[in-house]
Structure 1
Amino acid sequence: MYAAVLRTPYALRTFAAALLGRMSYGTAPLSLMLAATSATGSYAVAGTVMAVFGAASVVLSPLRALLIDRYGPGRALTPMALLYAALLTALAVVTWRPGTPVPLLAVLALCAGAATPPLGPTMRAVWSGLLSDRRLLQRAYSLDGVAEELLFVTGPLVVGLLVLIAPAAFGLAVSAGLVVVGTLVFVASPPVRAVVPHRAEGRRVAARAHVVRRLWRPVVVTFGVGLALGAVDLLVLAFAEERGIAEAAAWILAALSAGSAVGGLLNGAVDPRGSDGSRLPLLACGLAAALCGAALAPGLVTLALAAACVGLFVAPALATAYLLANEAVDPAHRTQAGAWVNTAVNAGASGGTAGAGVLVGHLPLPVCFVLAAAAPAAAALMSARPRRGVPTRAVRQDAVAPAPEEGADIAKA
């Protein structure tokens, strides 16, 4: 099953390096929040710094991915990672002791977010070059999604251990080290070095329009899923606080992550029926139905079970969306395609959290859960309706390069 994916030449080495670098995405945000709070003594400032950091990272993700497609991972990803690590280190230095000027902190956070290297989208583009079998590619995307889910769970745990022995700023320095080592090993991998940059100068504007036009279905659905997930984070906290056990929110969200991991593994293990274009709206509707079930939960245990059911649909929906995005474009735009989907889910999560914050103060929690469920349901309905002039499926069989064999002469991009 998944062993066939990892037995592909260079796959395990490349994937492990990418995960090492992506581990910093699980450790850097919490480290930055704790360090900013410690350095300024203000949760409001820390929240603003995190918002600036997150917004720059999400909004500029497609642009950074465009640079990867245009210049290749070696020439574009390495400088990004080094700059990102340098900025995280600078943030660690200025927040090591209290009294950091807020404007300096905000500027460094903005720059660090803008320089975040797109290791996830790049790895997914590399998967499509490593695996010519579409079934194996689906398993690879499922495995990638599960691993990413686990990184975002273990990252905060690592930070929790680090703050026991050092200031919170030390977590930023560790994050910098992770991204540098992981990226350098990743770009040195033969299949990454073999990626050929695409620089069609005369077709840049048309190419960008082509990418966006073909990605409307996975982008719309993942945005709806992101809205729901962002809302759930806050609604679960409000639910736990309403019952006087705020710390239980962490366990409920852990149940959601566990459900997502199980769903992702099942998604890769089971042969799907129907096309990905038809499955994606169904997965979004399943997530919406599970959220409606959460609205009926009478207590923390039942809410945790409902959250686990919600999670069952998260990783499969995202993996299917990434697969659709990969097939919708030619090899010259694969990294950008993955980045647009990634941006959609992250932007949706931010909007969902903000929207839930407004709703919680005015509506009962069960109603808020139902409204959160409406987002993926509406996105599913929109994506199920074909748009004029946009093909519902654009699989390019010639777009997947065969996996390199051991010992093959692989030119450096």
Structure 2
Amino acid sequence: MADEPAFVRADARPAPVPSYAAVLRIPGARRAFGAALVGRLSYGTVALSLLLAVKAGTGSYAVAGTVMALFGATSVFLSPARAALVDRYGLRRALPPMVAVYATLLVGIAAATWRPGASGVWLGAAVAAAGACTPPVGPVMRALWSELAPDRELLQRAYSLDGVAEEIVLAFGPLLVGVLVGLAPAATGVLVSAGLISVGTLALVSSPAVGRSAARAEAAVPDGVRHPAPARTGLWRAVVAAAGVGLCLGGIDLLAVAFADRRGHAAAVAWILAALSIGSAVGGLTYGAIRWRVAADRRLPLLALGLGLSLAAAGLSPNLYVLAAAAAVTGLFVAPTITTAYLSADACATANTRTRVGAWVNTALNAGASTGTATTGLLIGRVPLPLIFAVAALPTLFAAATITIRPAPPES
């Protein structure tokens, strides 16, 4: 049989793998992405700023802790409801009122805590209300990526880049607050947080990419038409995996502190957590650059399994150097697992439920992290550290087993 013509062989070659540069070359992507990162920087500054401001205003750690628990609860658990408003009314109609109320409340809290003598009851109500209005910049940007990068491989790179950049921004936030409180009252950080979320959100809403997205949504679904609920296929996998990762990550900080403290080098915890972050960044960027032949929902349990096993093994570290190396290995699985959870969720979303679906994954991740921190805090001092590392790894191992043995039901 004669060889195929040369032009057939050339056409049969696989297309080049999309790069991260290709993601940023998408029309409108850089402006929208940059605006979203400014808004997300507020996520990194607001929690610590509120904690310090409420403590300075009331003089009570107990009040500050209670108030922050209220903020975390309303912010995390109402995230899907806020995302549903964005899906229903669109970014340009839902986000500006949300950020206006949120920023106004933060300014009021800053004013109340500028000097001592603030009312703990008033602050609790105001902070809880602010948490309920937190603009869902992260879920909105991920939903926007789904429209900007319809190609699944390009979307994988966009999600990986987005996740790594968000992690860096969130890590920078507390450092910024540390600089601010050294120069001005603690409430200054709350004002800066209000400014960051206002500038970032309004810049995102006014970006051309959002304008094109809004036009497409209005053309596809006229006002008054009920939006369909998210498809369940794949969503539960993503939520279970995200909750497992959150529970796992929630305990790592405290475990690193306890490990370093027991060896008389408390300051070394910063290096351990830095190794975890570097590993996550390297893992996320490497993962995004690979052309995978296995579907995201099949990769998800394998990545969760790797995260759980590496964390459990880290508990056997004989010294701080080995723990730092083990933390870096654990980090290699963090960003890829979270990215894959978002990809799995996005695959089952409709055009008008993308923000909501991403918010469910985000809620599971954050709720899991809070629960993991609380649980680890109760165990430290009562249970040997290697065993606590294993306990912290169990949620991701359980998630990996659960989403493997229970296949998603077929769509009707």
Structure 1 and Structure 2 fold alike (TM over 0.5): yes
| 1:317 correspondence with 2:337 | yes
Q: Which residue of 2 aligns with 1:220?
A: 240
| 1:24 correspondence with 2:42 | yes
Structure 1: 5+ residue runs without aligned partners? 395-413
* Correspondence 1:167-316 to 2 at 5 A: 167-194=185-212, 195=214, 196=217, 198=221, 207-208=228-229, 210-211=230-231, 214-316=234-336
* Distance (whole Å) between structure 1 residues aligned to residue 290 and residue 204 of structure 2: 29
Residue 298 of structure 1: how far off its partner (Å): 1.5
* Distance (whole Å) between structure 1 residues aligned to residue 337 and residue 408 of structure 2: 24
- Whether the 8 Å contact between 1:73 and 1:193 is mirrored in structure 2 is no
* Distance (whole Å) between structure 2 residues aligned to residue 200 and residue 234 of structure 1: 49
Q: Which residue of 1 aligns with 2:154?
A: 136
Q: Relative to 1, partners in 2 of residues 1:77 and 1:357: Cα closer, same or farther, differing over 3 Å?
A: same
* Correspondence 1:5-44 to 2 at 5 A: 5-44=23-62
* Distance (whole Å) between structure 1 residues aligned to residue 100 and residue 76 of structure 2: 19
Structure 2: 5+ residue runs without aligned partners? 1-18
SS in 1 for 2:401: helix
Q: Relative to 1, partners in 2 of residues 1:16 and 1:388: Cα closer, same or farther, differing over 3 Å?
A: closer
* Distance (whole Å) between structure 1 residues aligned to residue 296 and residue 407 of structure 2: 16
* Distance (whole Å) between structure 1 residues aligned to residue 24 and residue 388 of structure 2: 42
Amino acid of the structure 2 residue aligned with 1:80:
M
1:28-71 deviations in whole A, cap 9, x for unaligned?
11111111122222222211111111111000000000000000
SS in 1 for 2:382: coil
Q: Relative to 1, partners in 2 of residues 1:40 and 1:248: Cα closer, same or farther, differing over 3 Å?
A: farther
Q: Which residue of 2 aligns with 1:373?
A: 393
Residue 250 of structure 1: how far off its partner (Å): 2.7
* Distance (whole Å) between structure 1 residues aligned to residue 278 and residue 110 of structure 2: 32
Q: Which residue of 2 aligns with 1:389?
A: 409
Amino acid of the structure 2 residue aligned with 1:119:
V
Amino acid of the structure 1 residue aligned with 2:93:
R
* Distance (whole Å) between structure 1 residues aligned to residue 266 and residue 259 of structure 2: 8
Residue 131 of structure 1: how far off its partner (Å): 1.2
Q: Relative to 1, partners in 2 of residues 1:229 and 1:200: Cα closer, same or farther, differing over 3 Å?
A: farther
Residue 360 of structure 1: how far off its partner (Å): 1.6
* Distance (whole Å) between structure 2 residues aligned to residue 389 and residue 34 of structure 1: 47
Residue 291 of structure 1: how far off its partner (Å): 0.5
1:337 to 357, 363, 375: 357
1:57 to 59, 66, 75: 75
* Distance (whole Å) between structure 1 residues aligned to residue 274 and residue 98 of structure 2: 32
* Distance (whole Å) between structure 1 residues aligned to residue 67 and residue 268 of structure 2: 27
SS in 2 for 1:331: coil
* Distance (whole Å) between structure 2 residues aligned to residue 214 and residue 2 of structure 1: 26
Residue 322 of structure 1: how far off its partner (Å): 0.6
Amino acid of the structure 2 residue aligned with 1:347:
A
Residue 385 of structure 1: how far off its partner (Å): 2.3
* Distance (whole Å) between structure 1 residues aligned to residue 226 and residue 403 of structure 2: 28
Q: Relative to 1, partners in 2 of residues 1:46 and 1:266: Cα closer, same or farther, differing over 3 Å?
A: same
Residue 177 of structure 1: how far off its partner (Å): 0.6
* Distance (whole Å) between structure 1 residues aligned to residue 202 and residue 344 of structure 2: 29
Residue 359 of structure 1: how far off its partner (Å): 1.7
Amino acid of the structure 2 residue aligned with 1:247:
A
Q: Tell me the C-alpha RMSD between the 2 structures.
A: 1.7
* Distance (whole Å) between structure 1 residues aligned to residue 225 and residue 162 of structure 2: 35
Residue 221 of structure 1: how far off its partner (Å): 0.6
- Whether the 8 Å contact between 1:221 and 1:379 is mirrored in structure 2 is yes
Residue 370 of structure 1: how far off its partner (Å): 0.5
Residue 199 of structure 1: how far off its partner (Å): 7.0
- Whether the 8 Å contact between 1:162 and 1:171 is mirrored in structure 2 is yes
Residue 277 of structure 1: how far off its partner (Å): 0.8
* Correspondence 1:73-222 to 2 at 5 A: 73-194=91-212, 195=214, 196=217, 198=221, 207-208=228-229, 210-211=230-231, 214-222=234-242
* Distance (whole Å) between structure 1 residues aligned to residue 224 and residue 330 of structure 2: 44
Amino acid of the structure 2 residue aligned with 1:381:
A
TM-score by length of 1: 0.91
Q: Which residue of 2 aligns with 1:397?
A: none
- Whether the 8 Å contact between 2:315 and 2:387 is mirrored in structure 1 is yes
Residue 211 of structure 1: how far off its partner (Å): 4.3
- Whether the 8 Å contact between 1:211 and 1:337 is mirrored in structure 2 is no
Q: Relative to 1, partners in 2 of residues 1:212 and 1:92: Cα closer, same or farther, differing over 3 Å?
A: farther
